[in-house]
A and B are shown apart, each in its own frame.
Chain A
Amino acid sequence: MITYDTKSSVKLSYAQKDYSYSDGKSAREINEYCRKCFENKKENTAISYRAEAIKYILENARLHFCEEELFVYGIEYDGVLADIRYRDLAARACELDACAFAECAAGYECGAFTGDGDFGHNCPDYSRLFELGIGGIISYAEEKERAAKEEKKEFYRSVSTVYKAIRTLILRYVKICERYKDKSDNARLRYCGLLNIADNPPANIYEALQLQMIVYSLMTHITVNIARTLGKLDGLLYRYYCGDINNGTFSQQDIRTIISNCLLRYYAMHFTANTPFYLCGSDKNGKDTSNELSRIILEEYFALDINDPKIQIRYHKNIPEDILIMAVKGIASGKNSIVFVNDGVIIPALEKTGASHEDACDYALVGCYEPLCAGKEISATCAGRIMLPKAIEYAFTSGFDFYTGRQEGEKTAPISEMCDFEDFYRAVKQQIKYAFARCVTAVNSMETQFPYVGSAPIFAPLLDNCMENGIEPYSGGAKYNNSSVNVFGVATFADSMLAVKRAVFEEKRLTLCDFYNILKENWNASEAFRAEILSKYDKYGNGNKKADFFARDIYSYCASLINGVPNTRGGIFRMGAFSIDWNHTFGAKLMATPDGRYQKTPMSKNVCASVAMDKKGITALINSATCIDYTDIPNGTVLDTMLHKSAMTGDDGMFSCVGLIKTFMALGGIGIQINVFDPSVLRKAQQMPEKYSNLQVRKCGWNVYFNELSREEQNEFIKQAENL
């Protein structure tokens, strides 16, 4: 019988990694070797020496091992390959076009836009990994190498080199595990499983999960072509589940225990921003794809009471009611990092980017909630950003940046010459257009260098078309090679536009120049006006058509600007609308805004209302948020909602919450997170953190412990909860 690892021991073992079981080199030695390797091999292309470095790491680095744990992974390593890649990327980009490269830094400084290289946010094709196994991938790469033209041979060789090294790594683990193989059923399973997957495709659910853990972790941890999802876990594992039950390999309880141990192991690894996976969804015929495993995974996850991995649920109109209820019950208990996303919107959104219907239907969610075609697309979900409220600042200043003291926007007409609101709005849109042009320059300056520094030999065989055509993932080798730009701060934007329209142009109580002076002075001596705007002006988030207009209109404008613009990798730019925690970091670079916000304070988050400005409750907030056409936002976003604990009590509360999700989806929302809070509990947790060490809140797309937040962020949560 397979037994449970206990939560505390797994967490502890991972916090204090034990490398004493293995021979090998320390992280410092690995670091030195890799740097030397890259220095002395200037004449080589990046592909081969990157493969050599990975090989060296997998063959030599010390391995973490814990006798009690069912799953193995853990390499002593300090991230040197990512450092080298970024160093070389920056150096090349700077050398080839210093002006374009300078835009990257300029964007970060002023915050109006950013453009960068995003190697994270990938979804490898795990089904292909399971089908071929390590040995199968090696043979495939060798076969392709033999048949390939000379210039492509190196690419295939790098894949076989690296996968052979993965085999060596697994065999190093096998050697350690062999010593314990007779001690327990767990130890036996571990040893036999590893031995099999060193070469062969996984034969059961344990082996599939173990192989996935190794490849996921290597991509994420060693090569930093970060895999930001474990994929559709209920789908990927289902055939193993059925097979194992049918042929008597495992009992259902064994399978539950294996899943539970696996989830716990990811939890202990503590990858930044959590390890996500998704469940359910519809297939290309609109048929529901959930199964028994969807339910088992949810049950085991909730029983563990952990905040990581996080789960995305692909909602569609045929999703079974009991799965929604199960998820909502978990949410009601306050321990969740579940996000619901809408097939009904995401599939058409991906189709608009040029994805086939079949590929769009098989979409994955990477990172927090960013859709892409699973195993077929690089979407670079965080390549670029545009901060909407900055365009308002620049419309006031003719592009002069308040924060850096430099001209960063376009030199639009001075406000003294603007006659009507349309003039002002036009200037705002011009500023957005200008910021996007700079964003594209910056993203392109990085992405044109990807072929030289972005070699991804672990990822390549798990991404459609790369092996078939012999092209690296980051050199345009994927079926879809896109780049994403996130447009954020929408509520602050909409509320500010409405305030300018009403105060300056409708009520004519002050001029644009007067308003600018007030903002420049950070509302100093204009507190009554500020209070009036805060309490009496219409705001996005209350189902008010006047305020919502600006949210819908600006996203439709940005979609026309961004979606479909070619990038340098043979794909296109595509829009996203999430802010993660940039509403704080970029808010610190923003002048006071006409909605009453003070300078350098946070702006609105994702597609939420500004904090405490959604005064009519969650239904009105949803009515507002769903006014946006999300089929124009293929890179996704989410509506963060909060419910008071009392709204979730009893069957009424639970069914109402299910109703809330269904309505959100029917109205065309793209993604929703529901957080349940009692403000008094949050306040107590702030005062007595030791007593609330397990209290989770959702920071962005991922969950964190409340105690780990800054005081400012804690206060923001409390303020939101008090607004319920």
Chain B
Amino acid sequence: MTGIVVDIKRFAVHDGDGIRTTLFLKGCPLKCVWCHNPESISFKPQLSYIEKKCIGCGECADVCPAGAHSISESGHIFDRALCTACGKCAAVCLGEALKFYGEKMTVEELVPILLEDKSFYDTSGGGITLSGGECLMQAEFCAELLKEMKERGVSTAVDTCGFVNRSAIDAVFPYTDIFLYDIKAVDEDVHIKCTGQSNGIIIENLKYIDSRGGKIEVRYPYVPGMNDDQAEKIADLLCGIKNLVKMRVLPYHNFAGSKYESVGMENTLPQFGMPSDETMAEVREYFRSRGITVCE
């Protein structure tokens, strides 16, 4: 079975406990305006091009079946309209200017890669995290991969936005040690404004996981001007979740702008400032005052 992979990040330290390897899968049902991983939204493969890294070697032009790359007097010209995102150019790019997002990888291929840092997981209480995009859009693949990892004694986490069918949760539930669960807003209109979708399913699924006794870490991405008024309602919601282990408030940052450009997407990042350390401390303190464990 294959999954569509965006990236693999080792020494991920904020995606669950301990030292982890995070596998990012491609495709997401939400369109969060602040998305930091725009290359993971679409299910289709995409080519990223960072012009300043190009050394003008022309290897890409030689292998491109669609003629999207050419080398002229003025240097490398990339015509994205012609690009079919086959990924051939990224494989030969010498300057590492071209990167292919959307490689199809099998469970068998991924298992040894995810095991490379097993000794680090073991000493730090870490493991692997499946993320995205929305990894549960490829739930059967996730389930198979998680099962393989569990069989090898690796702790597992699933990072999800919750906007998925219940069957997806059922598929991974037996092999998932903890769900890292995003709650962006409780008010439906705010949620729609932020993500383009209603949050009914998300809240239901959160309660469903809780009802089945699944461990949950909730993440609240705190975006000034978008969902910064939701803290109280989120706290209300979380007070009813029995298996909530802890929560994390993630400060919005706008460092991802160049990523949008590199994959030829329109930059939707809100032009608000990033929240100050003091604001973040206050928000975290608020949740603590509601009896919720908050990690720094």
Contacts and interface: CB of A to CB of B under 8 A. Distances in A.
B117 A619 contact: yes
B105 interface: no
Interface stretch (B10-18, B177-185, B221-229): B10-18
B124 to A, nearest CB: 2
A535 B96 CA distance: 7
Interface string B95-119: 1100000000000000000001101
B14 A650 contact: yes
Interface in A611-645: 616-620, 622-623
Contacts, number: 82
Interface string A636-665: 000000000001011111011011101100
B19 interface: yes
A667 interface: yes
Contacts of B94: 528, 531-532, 534-536
Given A531-B94, A536-B94, A616 B296 contact: no
A571 to B, nearest CB: 37
Interface string A435-465: 0000000000000000000000000000000
Nearest to A647: B13
Interface size class of A (residues with CB under 8 A): 20 to 34
Contacts of A617: 10-11
A652 B295 contact: yes
The main secondary structure of chain A at its interface with chain B is helix
Given A528-B94, A535-B95, A656-B19, A662 B14 contact: no
A543 B114 CA distance: 13
Contacts of B95: 531, 535
Given A531-B95, A536-B94, A650-B296, A659 B10 contact: no
Interface string B11-33: 10110011100000000000000
Given A528-B94, A536-B94, A666-B119, A619 B19 contact: yes
B124 A659 contact: yes
Contact of B120 (A616, A619, A651, A653): A619
Interface in B27-61: 55, 57, 59
B126 to A, nearest CB: 7
Interface string A520-563: 00000001100110111000000100000000000000000000
A662 B13 contact: no
B48 to A, nearest CB: 15
A573 B126 CA distance: 42
Given A536-B94, A650-B14, A666 B123 contact: yes
B109 to A, nearest CB: 16
Contact of B14 (A532, A652, A658): A652
A663 B119 CA distance: 6
A598 to B, nearest CB: 15
23 contacts: A527-B55, A528-B59, A535-B95, A617-B11, A618-B11, A619-B10, A619-B116, A619-B117, A619-B120, A620-B116, A623-B116, A623-B117, A647-B13, A650-B296, A652-B296, A655-B124, A656-B11, A656-B18, A659-B18, A659-B123, A660-B120, A663-B19, A666-B119
Please provide the 7 A-B residue pairs with the shortest distance between their CB atoms, ordered closest to farther. A659-B124, A650-B296, A531-B94, A656-B13, A662-B123, A663-B123, A619-B117
Given A536-B94, A656-B13, 14 more contacts: A532-B94, A535-B93, A619-B116, A619-B117, A623-B117, A649-B14, A650-B295, A655-B125, A660-B11, A660-B120, A662-B124, A663-B119, A663-B120, A663-B122
Interface of A: 527-528, 531-532, 534-536, 543, 616-620, 622-623, 647, 649-653, 655-656, 658-660, 662-663, 666-667
